[in-house]
Structure 1
Amino acid sequence: MIPAIGNTLPALDTSRVNPLGSVAAPATTGVGAGTDFASVLAKVTTDAVGAVKGAESSSIAGIKGEASTQAVVDAVMGAERALQTAVVIRDKVVAAYQEISRMAI
């Protein structure tokens, strides 16, 4: 059964709203403060690879009859989202590099 949308979205923490009405960045983002860009990209890549490997093992378990169809579909859809996110991030990094390389010195 599909969960209600309200249950899947995180609640807005009103303690992070500044007087101008915009929401400040969360205090904890899953990555430590002062982490460099390369380690963030490495973590995203590692997470995407882990999701794809998990989907692969779930698919094999489904073929053997050890996993339900729903579990296999959930794992494959999660891996697809992770892979799409990694591709979008890669495209943005390449576009930023190309933009920087076109700058006049």
Structure 2
Amino acid sequence: MDKLRALDAFAALSQPTRLDAFCLLIKAGDVGISAGDISDSLGVRQNTMSSNLTVLTRSGLIRNKREGRSIRYFADMDGLRGLLVFLMEDCCGGRSDRCQPIINELACDR
């Protein structure tokens, strides 16, 4: 991931509703969540949520799939992975022992 793409991702996550939606989609995993259910879960009007989901989609952090008249959203784990790799690319000046606790936590190795 390059710097401009990372900035897009950070900008997308810098708004509370978008961050909440992204976290909700991370928790949903491969099942994803319909746009309407995301709106209902977060108590956000559907047109407002649609705009926020568009920003997250353009940032590469989420993806969607049309299911009839509904759209289901999913966290894009490749996009998230790219952002995390961008952040940790030069982690601790090459001292992997300093990065290992962060890596373990990211891997849910607690």
Q: Normalised by the size of structure 1, how large is the TM-score?
A: 0.28
Q: Normalised by the size of structure 2, how large is the TM-score?
A: 0.27
Question: RCO greater where, 1 or 2, for CA within 8 Å and sep 6 or more?
Answer: 2
Bigger Rg over Cα: 1
Higher strand share: 2
Higher helix share: 2
